[in-house]
Chain A
Amino acid sequence: MSAAGRPFSIQLKGCSKTFPDGTRALETLELDIEAGETLVFLGPSGCGKTTTLRIIAGLESPDVGGQVFFDSENVTALPIERRNVGMVFQSYALFPNMSVAQNIGYGLRIKKHNAKAINARVSEMLEMMRIEALADRRVDQLSGGQRQRVALARALAVRPRALLLDEPLTALDAKLRDTLRLEIDTLLRSLAITTVYVTHDQAEAMALGDRIVVMDQGRVAHVGTPREIYQRPANRFVAEFIGTMNKVSGHASAGVFTCSAGTISWPQLPAGATELLFRPEDIRLAGADEPSTLSGRVAAAFFLGDRTRLFIEVGEAQPLVVESPARRSFELGEQLGLAIDVNGLLVL
């Protein structure tokens, strides 16, 4: 028995959103979400990601001219109650006047299923979310994680053709967030349902998304797989928003980049580059018999157990972040040589 109907693809055509007070929440957006994929909208608060989700859900309508398609059907004019999407809210929106089982069965009751079918489906959902023991509880007797499971079960009970999640884990503490993230991931893979997931947490986005849409100030900054977005960010905003990024500034001439901490040889170096970006994993401490490209002094060192995270002062605005697995301690001010993997260099 499948948990959802046949998933549909979602298309946004020329969707923008201007609020009555004139605020431009979303610039014109064109987006195709494939049937069955998990698409994550990622960005800082106020970037338009929730507005986009609400336009897909039917809770907001796009500005005149914008259109939303589910498969080939134009649903722009349909309100949420006729779109057959499951939705999970940041605040869960569980009905306090109903028990857990009643909450989960509400959508089926609205769709006029008979009591037997509702009970069967509710039991199935309770079992799937492993909350059988909570069936008769009142909502205010549940913990945050339990509420989230009930909210998911409720959204999935009606066999929606798409699942929309608006920052579902934000209200939970870090440890529970990790557990539930894994559970949601497993769930989404097994359901193969079209999923749109909104979050400001890049770790969540990387873990769950087949593709990620990074948004900034109402615009799409980059659409791509987690790997693409991390390794080949389209622009500075994406590069700096996702993960940690090191920066050195200087000037390029004939395949050699010169900055205050040393020189980097890179055959592919574009002429006129004034800044190079690279991830902490693309720079390491140079071995004893290895020529170092850059050098600097230890400004801070954090021992993380399996490695040490070093902040190395190299005369830039920000110290470089370098990680070392070495079984040794580092002194503040200690002079270190650094080697860079040129495959990880970016010019943006």
Chain B
Amino acid sequence: MHQLMYQLTRQLTHKLMHKRRWLFMLQLAFTLLICAFLIVPVILSMLAGLTVNYLVGIESGLTLRWVVEVWDGYRETIFASIGLSLACLAITLVLGVPAAYALARRQNRFTRAIEELLVMPVAVPGLATALALIVTYGTAGGFRTSWSFILVGHVLFTLPFMVRAVLAVLMAIDLKTLEEGAASLGASFGQRFRDIVLPNCRSGILAGSLMVVTLSMGEFNMTWLLHTPFTKTLPVGLADAYASLRLEVGSAYTLIFFVMIMPLLLALQFFATPRSKKFSVKDVS
């Protein structure tokens, strides 16, 4: 009897395992397919930047000529973009974190209205924002032709992302009581902000920073209208390259963009993910 049961169970388990493996394979195949769909164009584009003649194909041979050409002609735009996005990050941090704090501490109809209004620059097309900026400040010569003109546009566009990210984290903790606890121990406003508020919204600040840098780096709509021949960002330069030069040059540009940007984003991502909790032997007991 037992023997029979054992046999039956084994057969059943085997069948189940078999079925499960099939399901797993199917899922894996589907995932890989999606990945390929997304990644293949990127690889092709980067390969195009290294091909002697894209129309002929990869048989024409590989070259660094286009990369060098782009580097010579456009490297200022790359550094400009990195500088611009970091400046944008600095401003959104200085404006956004205190703003989120104020919104979190004072929850009323007024602050909720502000919260809603904050998403406007995201909802309004970048072109419209840019036009509004040009109509208003276009005649302010020095400002119009300087980098700060584009920076203002970027800050407008990215600030909501910083505020929202920080606000979400602050709303999830009982900030008021935490601050009262710190105050009861003698901490002044500045000390509370430094020791309690900032460390506890760290994950929000980092997530917001990642958002701001990424968005500012890749922003095209608004920047395309705001830029001057002397203030070109990377995406604007990329559009130029695709529009006016050989496809290989544009692709080489993409390649350089990747190589320059990826380490920055990866570093940000690394800091944004919370460190794994430290467990000591004591905790197991």
Question: Is chain B a partner of chain A in the same complex?
Answer: yes
Q: What residues of chain A have their CB less than 8 Å away from a CB belonging to chain B? A: 57, 59, 79-82, 84-87, 89, 91, 93-97, 106-107, 110-111, 133, 136-138, 141, 154-155, 158, 164
Given the complex of chains A and B, what is the CA–CA distance between A85 and B173 in angstroms? 24
Asked if B186 is at the interface (CB within 8 A of a chain A CB), the reply is yes
Residues of B within 8 A of A110 (CB): 185-187, 191
Given the complex of chains A and B, what is the CA–CA distance between A90 and B187 in angstroms? 20
Given the complex of chains A and B, what is the CA–CA distance between A137 and B283 in angstroms? 7
- Of the candidates A80, A82, A96, the one whose C-beta lies within 8 Å of that of B173 is A96
Contact (Cβ within 8 A) A80 B180? yes
Contact (Cβ within 8 A) B280 A136? yes
- Of the candidates B181, B195, B280, the one whose C-beta lies within 8 Å of that of A89 is B181
Given the complex of chains A and B, what is the CA–CA distance between A138 and B277 in angstroms? 9
- Of the candidates A94, A95, A138, A155, the one whose C-beta lies within 8 Å of that of B184 is A155
A79, A95, A154 interface centre (most CB from chain B within 10 Å):
A95
CB distance from B81 to the nearest CB of A (A): 34
B173 (CB) vs chain A CBs: closest residue: A96
CB distance from B281 to the nearest CB of A (A): 11
B174 (CB) vs chain A CBs: closest residue: A91
Residues of B within 8 A of A82 (CB): 186
- Of the candidates B177, B184, B196, the one whose C-beta lies within 8 Å of that of A86 is B184
Contact (Cβ within 8 A) A59 B180? yes
CB distance from B23 to the nearest CB of A (A): 36
- Of the candidates A95, A111, A133, the one whose C-beta lies within 8 Å of that of B181 is A95
Residues of B within 8 A of A93 (CB): 174, 177-178, 180-181
Residues of B within 8 A of A91 (CB): 174, 177
Residues of B within 8 A of A95 (CB): 178, 181-182, 195-196, 200
Q: What residues of chain B have their CB less than 8 Å away from a CB belonging to chain A? A: 173-174, 177-178, 180-188, 191, 195-196, 199-200, 202, 277, 280, 282-283, 285
B277 (CB) vs chain A CBs: closest residue: A138
Given the complex of chains A and B, what is the CA–CA distance between A347 and B265 in angstroms? 78
Contact (Cβ within 8 A) A89 B200? no
Contact (Cβ within 8 A) B283 A141? yes
Given the complex of chains A and B, what is the CA–CA distance between A138 and B196 in angstroms? 15
Contact (Cβ within 8 A) B282 A80? no
Known: A137-B283, A138-B277, A141-B283. Contact between A94 and B186, CB under 8 A?
A: no
A104 (CB) vs chain B CBs: closest residue: B185
Given the complex of chains A and B, what is the CA–CA distance between A137 and B177 in angstroms? 21
Contact (Cβ within 8 A) A154 B174? no
Residues of B within 8 A of A155 (CB): 184-185
Contact (Cβ within 8 A) A97 B200? yes
Given the complex of chains A and B, what is the CA–CA distance between A141 and B283 in angstroms? 8
Given the complex of chains A and B, what is the CA–CA distance between A137 and B285 in angstroms? 12
Residues of A within 8 A of B174 (CB): 91, 93
B285 (CB) vs chain A CBs: closest residue: A133
Residues of B within 8 A of A141 (CB): 283
- Of the candidates B180, B199, B282, the one whose C-beta lies within 8 Å of that of A133 is B282
Contact (Cβ within 8 A) A106 B182? yes
Contact (Cβ within 8 A) B186 A107? yes
9 A-B contact pairs sorted by A residue (CB < 8 Å): A80-B180, A86-B184, A87-B181, A89-B177, A89-B181, A93-B178, A93-B181, A106-B195, A164-B184
Known: A81-B187, A106-B195, A158-B186. Contact between A94 and B181, CB under 8 A?
A: yes
B178, B186, B199, B202 interface centre (most CB from chain A within 10 Å):
B186
A99 (CB) vs chain B CBs: closest residue: B278
Q: Pick the 5 closest A-B CB pairs, nearest first.
A: A93-B181, A107-B185, A87-B184, A97-B199, A93-B177
Contact (Cβ within 8 A) A80 B183? yes
Given the complex of chains A and B, what is the CA–CA distance between A298 and B174 in angstroms? 51
CB distance from B186 to the nearest CB of A (A): 5
Given the complex of chains A and B, what is the CA–CA distance between A93 and B283 in angstroms? 22
Residues of A within 8 A of B196 (CB): 95, 97
Residues of B within 8 A of A158 (CB): 185-186
Residues of B within 8 A of A86 (CB): 184
Given the complex of chains A and B, what is the CA–CA distance between A84 and B183 in angstroms? 10
Given the complex of chains A and B, what is the CA–CA distance between A137 and B191 in angstroms? 23
Residues of B within 8 A of A80 (CB): 180, 183-184
Besides A95-B182, A95-B195, A138-B277, 19 other A-B contacts (C-beta < 8 A): A59-B180, A79-B183, A80-B183, A81-B183, A81-B184, A81-B185, A81-B187, A81-B188, A89-B177, A95-B196, A97-B200, A106-B187, A107-B186, A110-B186, A110-B191, A136-B280, A136-B282, A154-B181, A164-B184
Residues of A within 8 A of B177 (CB): 89, 91, 93
Residues of B within 8 A of A59 (CB): 180, 183
A107 (CB) vs chain B CBs: closest residue: B185
Residues of B within 8 A of A85 (CB): 184
Given the complex of chains A and B, what is the CA–CA distance between A138 and B282 in angstroms? 12
A84, A86, A107, A164 interface centre (most CB from chain B within 10 Å):
A107
Given the complex of chains A and B, what is the CA–CA distance between A137 and B185 in angstroms? 21
Residues of B within 8 A of A137 (CB): 282-283
Contact (Cβ within 8 A) B184 A96? no
Residues of A within 8 A of B181 (CB): 87, 89, 93-95, 154
Given the complex of chains A and B, what is the CA–CA distance between A79 and B185 in angstroms? 12
Residues of B within 8 A of A164 (CB): 184
Given the complex of chains A and B, what is the CA–CA distance between A82 and B189 in angstroms? 12
CB distance from A198 to the nearest CB of B (A): 14
Residues of A within 8 A of B183 (CB): 59, 79-81
Known: A133-B282, A141-B283. Contact between A87 and B180, CB under 8 A?
A: yes
